[in-house]
Amino acid sequence: MRRHRNLKIVATLGPSSSDYDTIRALFEAGADVFRLNMSHGSHDDVAARHEIIRQVEKDTGRPIAILADLQGPKLRVGAFANGPHQLEVGQAFRLDLDPAPGDATRVCLPHKEIFDALEPGARLLVNDGKVVLKVTRCAGDFAETEVLVAGEISDRKGVNVPDVVLPLAALSDKDRADLEFVCTLGVEWLALSFVQRAADVHEARELAGNRAAIMSKIEKPAAVQAYEEILAASDGIMVARGDLGVELPVQKVPPIQKRLVRGARREAKPVIVATQMLESMISSPMPTRAEVSDVAAAIYEGADAVMLSAESAAGDFPVEAVTTMNNVAIEVESDPTYRQIIEASRPGARSTVADGIVSAAREIAETTTGIKAICCFSESGTTVSKVSREKPRVPIIALTSRLGTARKLCLTWGAHCVMATEISRFKMAVVAAARAARTEGFATEADQILVVAGVPFNQAGSTNILRVAPCEEKLIFSTEPG
């Protein structure tokens, strides 16, 4: 099964998409990666969906990536004695550690870490910013505030604290248990919530080891400020625009999105643009024009993937939402302006032999007639990621003997993953690449391919060889070594 686009699509599973028929239909409609949201459902639910994904993978013969999204710490106010209360602008309101039910003047905020970090002037956003409070006086067990934005406050509404770095780890006790569970189950990617600093990523990596790649969700102002350090520590990035739009003025989110996408591309790390992309399709079979333009904008920016959340997890039209994303991607990528934008934004820095090899491969492919694909042999996926960063005009065929690598690369722009036997000689790599290009429908015997690999084989980071090869069934080699 070959996708006729380079962009990858991530679909979240949930109540609307938990059975085999729906999950397979989502895959056939265009989903390349399935997201398991650890904020919802039990471990049994997660295990059941994981098993179905692996069955779809087996039945279709195509690798599928699974992304487990950890919940992160949830900051919430306590309960109220007499139901919701309407707060008015200018009103005084107190937050404290007293567990007694709240009223119109105060409520419990059972997170001492917040009080330890607060300073006068800091804002607290309640219920996704529908109520905004400004701290006027605070200590280690309370905060007196003034209401800046009026609204209703009620039981256990979420609290965002955008103006300070909270002394909270990105991983709660629940997250640690979930991380161990999904790594034992077998997932390719872990999405890490509440990231504020690179140390949060290091902690997750220490727990996950080599069992899963770490994707940092950029959803807090502190993470935007520390982006370069977080990017260096991460295997991938998710632009989580929903929380960013709560904690920052909404007009700041689009330029931040562009900067995050470009930074990830520069470092050859996959980047997902997420949240509210086709929100209206939760209840409508047709998206709004603005939503389609939003998806298209992420594609023009060079994102590796776009993500559906509630649209595919809890919506009435999950398959239609994936189909819409697939169609938008095909249309955008066929636009000549898309190639102009992508090529104008191509990172220019070249610092290693591998960088030079993949850059040369892209240039040869684009300036030589008859070359139909760039075939990359990669055990870790690094070579494929570097070729993907170039955004070549010809398809990328990623050949690997490791199923985990093939699955992980399902999130990488343009990568069509093919399982191959372990290779020990470059001549056999060329034969395997030509066979894959023909079998997968990318080339005929009359065409040529580019083969990129590292010698000696089966060593990560050894990309050092490039060859133009015919796609003939019987390849004739010269007598040079290797």
Residue entry with tokens 């690798």: 63
444, 437, 407, 436: which is closest to 420 by C-alpha?
436
**Which of the following is catalytic: 24, 54, 74, 76?**
76
- The count of C-alpha atoms lying within 13 angstroms of the C-alpha of 239, restricted to the half-sphere facing its C-beta, is 29
Residue 352 is encoded by which pair of tokens?
């290693």
**Contacts by 46-55, CB closer than 8 A, 24 or more apart:** 46/181, 46/182, 46/185, 47/185, 48/18, 49/13, 49/18, 49/23, 50/182, 50/185, 50/186, 50/187, 52/18, 52/19, 52/20, 52/23, 53/23, 55/20
Distance, CA of 135 to CA of 477 (rounded, Å): 75
DSSP 359-382: HHHHHHHHHSTTEEEEEEE-SSSH
> Which member of 5, 8, 12, 35 is catalytic?
35
Backbone φ, ψ for residue 102 (5° rounding):
-80, 170
35 is catalytic: yes
Q: Which of 12, 145, 275, 463 is catalytic?
A: 275
- How many residues are there in the chain? 482
Catalytic (active site) residue 439: no
Question: Tokens for 329?
Answer: 């991607």
Give percent helix, percent strand, percent coil of the chain, each to the nearest 5. 40, 25, 40
Longest dimension (CA), the chain: 86
Q: How far apart are CA 308 and CA 454, in angstroms?
A: 36
Considering only CA atoms, give the Rg of the chain: 24
Positive or negative: CA dihedral 436, 439, 442, 448: positive
Alpha carbon 14 to its chain's center = 18
Reading across the β-sheet that carries 371-377, which strands appear in turn? 415-419, 396-400, 371-377, 448-454, 463-470
Question: In the annotation, is 217 catalytic?
Answer: yes
Q: Is 176 a catalytic residue?
A: no
Neighbours of 461 (CB within 10 A): 14
Decide if 398 contacts 415 (C-beta within 8 A). Answer: yes
* Catalytic residue IDs: 35, 76, 217, 275
